[in-house]
A and B are shown apart, each in its own frame.
Chain A
Amino acid sequence: MPELPIPIPPLPTLHESVFMAIALLTVVGAFLVVAARNLFHNALGLALTFFGVAGVYFVAEAEFVGVAQVLVYVGAISTLITFAIMLTRGMMYGATSPLNRQAGTAAIIAATVFVVMAGLLGSLPWPVAEEPIVDGQIVIANLGVGFVTEFVVAFLLLAVLLLVALAGAIVLAQDRK
């Protein structure tokens, strides 16, 4: 078989394609947060972003952080925001402009942050794990064991955190006097 003159770039592995999909989802969510005209949609976009970030953690095999992300940000914070918006009539249905006079400044800040972060990521020599994580290792199960042993404090605290979110939701849900 003759060699092709131009090497075909290797297809992304399954791993990479999952990452890309999740990353895309995250970016779309983030864009929704900024651009959607309805505040409720903004909130949903935020939840989507949180999910996406959790997905990135899972892909990076940082399951614990992923779970924490889901519990804290998706479970607690997004819920709270959504509740708050749903219970505030004016916010729920009003259409608002995503642009105001600070939009320019905000864009500059966002761009700067991006450049700084990207620069940091690109230029710093990240340490690489010496041995790859073996496929089939029961990471999640380990995590589960970890939750009730090594990380039990964190686990308990997460429970308290959710309790706070719950109580907070009740307070916010109360109709105005």
Chain B
Amino acid sequence: MFDYAWLLFAFPALGALIILFLGPWLSQKIVGWIASLAVLSAFGVALALFASLYALPEEARSITITYWEWMTIANFSVPAAVLIDPLSIMMAIVVTGVGGLIHIYSIGYMDHEPRYQRFFFYLNFFILAMLILVMSNNFLGTFVGWEGVGLASYLLIGFWFAKRDDQYGWYADAGKKAFLVNRIGDAAYLLAMFIIWSSVGSLTYAVVEETAALLPTTTLVFITLLLLFAVSGKSAQFPLYVWLPEAMAGPTPVSALIHAATMVTAGVYLIVRTGHLWDLTPIVAQTVGWIGILTAFFAATLAIVQVDLKKILAYSTISQLGYMVAAAAVGAPGSAIFILVAHAFFKALLFLGAGSVMHATDGVIDVRRLGGLRHKMPQTYITFLIGAMALGGIPLLSGFWAKDAVLAGIAADGAFLIYSVGVVTALLTAIYSFRAVFLTFNGKPRDMHVYEHAHENKLIMVGPLWILAFFSITIGWFNTPFALAMEEFLSASTGHQEHVGLFLELVVVTISTIVSLFGLLYAWARYIRGEHWTLTLASWFAWLQPALDNKWYVDRVYDAVIVRPLAAVAGWFARVFDPKVIDGAVNAVGDVTVDAGEAVRKLQNGAIPTYAFSIFLGVVVVLIYFIFAG
């Protein structure tokens, strides 16, 4: 089977090419189905690879297939090769499986969209890039996928570029913000890669893993710090998370696929893939643990006050990613991947549910105008509720087991402070999850016009919701505390296997259960019953309101520290250069007819002396340097 691993890439690539070249002659439905089939075929390949891998003895579950020598310079070479091991295949299954469902859903969701060809092309391209990211056996290949998914994300966030509203401004600008913030992370990734290259002499994960222990600590700290930046860009962690809420400008299936289920988890994948590096640098790993859990906490506080259903989910995603990053860094990578997989299902479900609401209400997504939709959209309601229960950590659903695994892993690692922040965050998570459900689907309709208009969607959209709901419930059963099947399978890649003591496990499970049920109770009491004690409880935190309204001031700090100074510099250049540019442009049109005498006049008033003066200044400075340095 491994000989056919290339099919994994071939299907989405073929799909993208067919859509690109034949798309204009095909109907919307057919284009959508071609794209979906391409991804589903890749899903089939991924499952087959998984089966073949599972059939192998545990120690043999790491297959490298080299296709060609990608590049060779000096004594250094990088192959174009894939690495098939439990970690990569798990990621591939999630990407193609959830991705396939979202493709099918999109056929229904984008039925009014004239540029469906472009949409599905981007989606298939994204799947291809994401597969390259997770399947490559070296840093460079992963980087190519990393940039590819970034590009797809940028194109899809700005998909409705001509739209503009108060929330996002120009939609195209939201895409730009995402791309540029990510470029900062990418630069860090590149730099990390260079340092690895120059110190290890190879970019292959296996070689780096073997030699990492020989590297000096400072080098390792540099590498991991840079990777941390890369991760915080892609996985929307502090301080680079700011782009993700804006990314909600993209079509909802895109938010589900890229900004919840798959792309944003690339950072988590990278940490797990390079786990050995983090193990060697406990200080950085601790830092990352804190960054992750604090991001989780702060994002959760923001999720509680959002009124846009998609923004709630966006901050929730940041928060959940925080859990993953924290777990991956502090030595529970198996549970990090577990929550990644579970999250992919239930968050995709929630986003698609939100999209279903949007589709039904003609784009109204402000929870203040919704309410009571359960009567109009019973299927969406039930599936959304399942998703929220999973997210909120209601016992026996996947999110419960996942969060439990993460928290138990952190606790077992002795990081009790991080653990306690994690518990508080879990409470907040439960509250905002049910707040979202109750405000949208329960209670009385707040805007009758919207309510009247709403309707349940077609099977092509609801079907994927049910499938995702099914997995949101059941996927956790593969990894219950005393039968960690998934983590055991993954341990061949992660090198970790968390064994949490029975007592600790019971304590953690109990606390998690209490916390999530209390969250549910609170949300129910407040948003459905409107009981007084909930408001009293909330009023204790009223002093935080301004900070929450201003998103903890992060955007403002960025504006003051980075954006404004940069704009000022650019503005200065504009003042110095623009007069010349405008002059030049006007003259370019006018001067064609002007005779050469005019040119002479221009020449004399021109800036040649300035230019010469600049050269001359340079000469003086360079000369002085060389005379004194020499």
Contact = CB atoms under 8 A, between A and B. Distances in A.
Direct contact of A and B (CB under 8 A): yes
Interface of A: 39, 88-91, 94, 96, 100, 102, 105-106, 109, 113, 116
Interface in B371-420: none
A94 B609 contact: no
A113 B616 contact: yes
Given A96-B604, A100-B604, A113-B616, A106 B609 contact: yes
Contacts of A91: 596-597, 600
A94 B604 CA distance: 14
Given A105-B613, A109-B616, A113-B616, A90 B605 contact: no
A113 B619 CA distance: 10
B596 A89 contact: yes
6 contacts: A90-B597, A94-B600, A96-B600, A96-B604, A100-B605, A109-B613
B597 to A, nearest CB: 3
B595 interface: yes
A109 B608 CA distance: 13
Contacts of B605: 100
A100 B610 CA distance: 13
A111 to B, nearest CB: 12
Contacts of B612: 109
B521 to A, nearest CB: 80
Contacts of A90: 595-597, 600
Contacts of A116: 620
Interface string B209-229: 000000000000000000000
A39 B605 CA distance: 15
> 3 tightest A-B contacts by CB?
A90-B597, A102-B609, A90-B596
Nearest to A90: B597
B447 to A, nearest CB: 69
Contact of B600 (A39, A102, A106, A113): A39
B612 to A, nearest CB: 8
Given A94-B600, A96-B604, A109-B612, 11 more contacts: A39-B600, A88-B596, A89-B596, A90-B600, A91-B597, A91-B600, A94-B597, A100-B605, A102-B610, A105-B613, A109-B616
Interface in B579-630: 595-597, 600, 604-605, 609-610, 612-613, 616, 620
B427 to A, nearest CB: 71
A106 B609 CA distance: 7
A96 B605 CA distance: 12
Tell me if B's interface is mostly helix, strand, loop or mixed. Answer: helix
A91 B612 CA distance: 23
B537 to A, nearest CB: 74
B622 to A, nearest CB: 13
A27 B610 CA distance: 25
Nearest to B601: A96
A1 B597 CA distance: 70
Interface residues of B, number: 12
Contacts of B604: 96, 100
Contacts of A106: 609
Nearest to A102: B609
B609 A105 contact: yes
B340 to A, nearest CB: 65
Contacts of A105: 609, 613
A89 B599 CA distance: 12
Contacts of B610: 102
A88 B603 CA distance: 14
Contacts of B596: 88-91
Interface string B491-530: 0000000000000000000000000000000000000000
Contacts of A102: 609-610
Contacts of A89: 596
A105 B610 CA distance: 9
Contacts of B620: 116
Nearest to B617: A109
Contacts of A88: 596
Contacts of A100: 604-605
A39 B612 CA distance: 20
A156 to B, nearest CB: 31
Of the candidates A89, A90, A100, the one having the most CB atoms from chain B within 10 angstroms of its own CB is: A90
A89 B612 CA distance: 27
A102 B609 CA distance: 7
Contacts of B609: 102, 105-106
A63 B9 CA distance: 70
A113 B612 CA distance: 12
Nearest to B609: A102
A9 to B, nearest CB: 36
A156 B533 CA distance: 97
B611 to A, nearest CB: 11
| Residue of B597, B610, B612, B616 with highest tally of chain A CB at under 10 A | B597
A90 B602 CA distance: 13
A39 B596 CA distance: 13
Nearest to A87: B596
A102 B605 CA distance: 9
A106 to B, nearest CB: 6
B466 to A, nearest CB: 74
A90 B600 CA distance: 8
B630 to A, nearest CB: 13
A114 to B, nearest CB: 13
A95 B612 CA distance: 24
A106 B604 CA distance: 13
A90 B594 CA distance: 12
B602 to A, nearest CB: 12
A43 B605 CA distance: 19
B50 to A, nearest CB: 66
A100 B604 CA distance: 8
A106 B612 CA distance: 10
A94 B598 CA distance: 11
A44 B609 CA distance: 22
A129 to B, nearest CB: 24
Interface in B464-491: none
